[in-house]
Amino acid sequence: MFEKILIANRGEIAVRIIKTARRMGIATVAVHSDADAASLAVSMADEAVRIGPAAATLSYLDAEAVIAAAKATGAQAVHPGYGFLSERAAFAERLAAEGIVFIGPNPRAIEAMGDKIESKRFAAAAKVSTVPGSLDVISGTAHAVKVAEVIGYPVMMKASAGGGGKGMRIAWTRAEVEEGFTAAQAEARGAFGDDRVFIEKFVSEPRHIEIQVLGDRHGHVVHLNERECSIQRRHQKVIEEAPSPFVTPAMRAAMGAQAVALAKAVDYDSAGTVEFIVDADRRFYFLEMNTRLQVEHPVTELTTGLDLVEQMIRVAAGEPLSFGQEDVRLDGWAVESRIYAEDPYRGFLPSIGRLSRYAPPPEGTYDGVVVRNDTGVGEGDDISVHYDPMIAKLCTWAETRDAALDGMARALDGFRIEGPANNILFLSAVVDEARFRSGKISTAYIAETWPDGFHGLEPTAFQADAMTAAALAMQRLQGLRNGNGKAFRSDWVVSVGTIKRPLQVRVDGAALEIAIPGERRTLRLDGIDWRPGGALFRGVLDGKAFGASVAPAAEGFQIRMRAATARVLALSPRSSELHERLPPRKPKDRSNRLVSPMPGVIVALHVVPGQAVKAGETVAVIEAMKMQNMVRAERDGTAATVDVAVGDSVAADQVLATLA
């Protein structure tokens, strides 16, 4: 067994590998860019080596810098994690030439399966069912249009060296091919240093289901069941689970056998994943093979009891697998929610900034639910524009799917993040949503469920009551702290969003009795757990326990319960009457200002001062966190000013140009 390994990665996966290495008694070396010098992974590793500036192309993608760090520290092996150099056969070969072990598959398997075009050719030759499409590299936009029209719309343009949704575009029309092909190429070049793109048929109503495989260097390969990865946006997974609610035992066996056969055909000798697109009739098609550890590997670990990082290390050290296919178990249900620094209210655009508060729910087992949180950040860390926006992977396990999802809902409720925007509210909405709960999902689930974008959910009747009661309790506790709450008034008007109700309140010891005259009912709030300034309010309303995230707002509170957020005002009748007289604010007309929807770097400008612009026309392209986003004009006009240049870094809402 190795005595020291180097981790050629960053963030949560670097931390994840360090934890397993520690348990195995293996020393670790972390490499880092300037942006990650104070990261959690660096603080946890036994040694750390700087390998370059913040840009990934000058640090984590610099193979020679990583190899130099391994040699300088005496690391016997390198674990690449996922992304960056993890699927570079040339990197594995260079390590071998230096006498350093690559903790991953052999270079031949990486070459055969890691390249999306070559893997499809290989799979077709091996008579594995594949999605119809072109196996040729697309030479340019005209070629892309020609191939797309032969295959038939819709089509998917994909980076050959890609993964994680980078360099991927769906096109439903010729115009979308012409516009999307260039963007897919640019994303592929920026993320992988390889701008080759191919095109295949886009399967409508598809599910994305993948099989985890594990092989050793003695000819043994097993599969570790499937993962359901259909909840995606921008082709990037958001929620994963194991097993899939759609897969039958017979289908699992068939998909697993095909995945194992494909892996054996390339002498696969590490952890890898065979991805399939599955249609409504349970026909499955080979999509690609990821020759590395997957982001979503924790749900497989939770349902099989295996540590995949440990298995990769043991295989790389030459050990045979200690179990066979018949020993692989499928125990209970696991769910993973990817917590991203992104704004779900602005089309999930990336967000950056300092984590002024980062308080995940405690890990452990609670009422039969296991809570696990894989993360690479801590409070006070910065979310950088240079890397993927994932903050953490929150996982829950339970005996059944419903219990695992209920546990996830509670865990999300207990996750506190302040600073950059995040998607916790959106994840809560998905976990509670009826269609998702039924398991009748596809990769189009998010777009179909929220076709006009996600704008949060309105409070349910119980949530409105709970928010009302919480606001009154907090008003009383703040008053007691300030020395003026002993004579708590009895008449109140409470607004929860647009719901406004006059109330009569009576203090009963530590509880509140809240009468709603217009509805002829009374609420009782007890079990109050909150201190002024606290971010979490807990209580029991009419015998039902609840929790809510709370924050002060003008004359009231901002309260969140699951996916519902509301501004709650608790006012005296006179103050409420005066509020009614306030004139409504008129939104400013900003249609003449073209602003950046997110922080990033200007990679293209398509307008100059004096140029005519049509509504919907692309004005600029902004790159952030490895993704390119197009800024379009909202109306016709003429560019009066262009306030940025290619290469400029811009902030969210920064003016790029103005229209006359």
The C-alpha angle 121, 311, 267, rounded to 5 degrees, equals 30
Q: Is the dihedral of CA 96, 100, 106, 107 positive or negative?
A: negative
Number of H helices, E strands in the chain: 17, 39
> Cα–Cα distance between 628 and 165 in angstroms, integer?
11
The one catalytic residue in 200, 241, 288, 301 is: 288
- Which of 202, 196, 205 is CA-nearest to residue 155? 202
What pLDDT, on a 0 to 100 scale, did the predictor assign at position 204? 76
Rg for the chain, CA atoms, rounded: 27
Counting Cα atoms < 13 Å in the Cβ hemisphere of 499 gives: 18
- Which of 542, 567, 540, 565 is CA-nearest to residue 553? 567
Clarify whether residues 469 and 486 are in a common domain: yes
Clarify whether residues 174 and 237 are in a common domain: no
DSSP class of 104? S
279 within a domain of the structure (yes/no): yes
Clarify whether residues 371 and 263 are in a common domain: yes
What pLDDT, on a 0 to 100 scale, did the predictor assign at position 164? 67
At 168, which CATH number? Answer: 3.30.1490.20
Cβ proximity of 11 and 376 under 8 Å: yes
117 within a domain of the structure (yes/no): no
> Cα–Cα distance between 61 and 258 in angstroms, integer?
33
Would residue 288 show up in a list of annotated catalytic residues for this protein? yes
At 21, which CATH number? Answer: 3.40.50.20
At 316, which CATH number? Answer: 3.30.470.20
Where are the extended beta strands (E) located within 47-190?
Answer: 47-52, 77-79, 101-102, 155-159, 168-171
Clarify whether residues 442 and 534 are in a common domain: no
Residues contacting residue 79 through CB under 8 Å, at least 6 positions apart: 5, 6, 7, 8, 9, 17, 103, 104, 309, 312, 313
> Cα–Cα distance between 377 and 374 in angstroms, integer?
10
Give this prediction's pTM. 0.83
47 forms beta bridges with 29
What pLDDT, on a 0 to 100 scale, did the predictor assign at position 328? 98
Mutual angle of helices 107-114 and 116-125, in 10-degree steps: 90
What pLDDT, on a 0 to 100 scale, did the predictor assign at position 140? 92
Reduce the DSSP state of residue 172 to 3 states and report it.
Answer: coil
What pLDDT, on a 0 to 100 scale, did the predictor assign at position 361? 93
Clarify whether residues 272 and 317 are in a common domain: yes
Cβ proximity of 147 and 302 under 8 Å: no
What pLDDT, on a 0 to 100 scale, did the predictor assign at position 121? 81
Pairing of strands 197-201, 207-215: unpaired
The full DSSP string for 355-415 is -SEEEPPPPEEETTEEEEEEES--TTPEEPTTS--EEEEEEEEESSHHHHHHHHHHHHHT-
Average pLDDT across each block of 10 residues of the chain; the chain has 660 residues. List them in order.
98 98 98 97 98 95 98 98 95 98 96 82 81 83 94 90 80 94 89 88 89 97 98 92 97 95 94 94 91 97 98 98 98 98 88 92 96 97 90 98 97 92 96 96 95 92 97 93 78 93 95 95 96 92 93 89 93 90 74 84 92 90 79 90 92 89
> Cα–Cα distance between 266 and 264 in angstroms, integer?
5
Written as six digits, the tokens of 506 are 């009576």
> Cα–Cα distance between 226 and 293 in angstroms, integer?
14
> Cα–Cα distance between 516 and 494 in angstroms, integer?
11
Reduce the DSSP state of residue 431 to 3 states and report it.
Answer: helix
Range of the domain at 159: 132-201
Clarify whether residues 263 and 212 are in a common domain: yes
543 within a domain of the structure (yes/no): yes
What pLDDT, on a 0 to 100 scale, did the predictor assign at position 119? 85
Clarify whether residues 336 and 310 are in a common domain: yes
444 within a domain of the structure (yes/no): yes
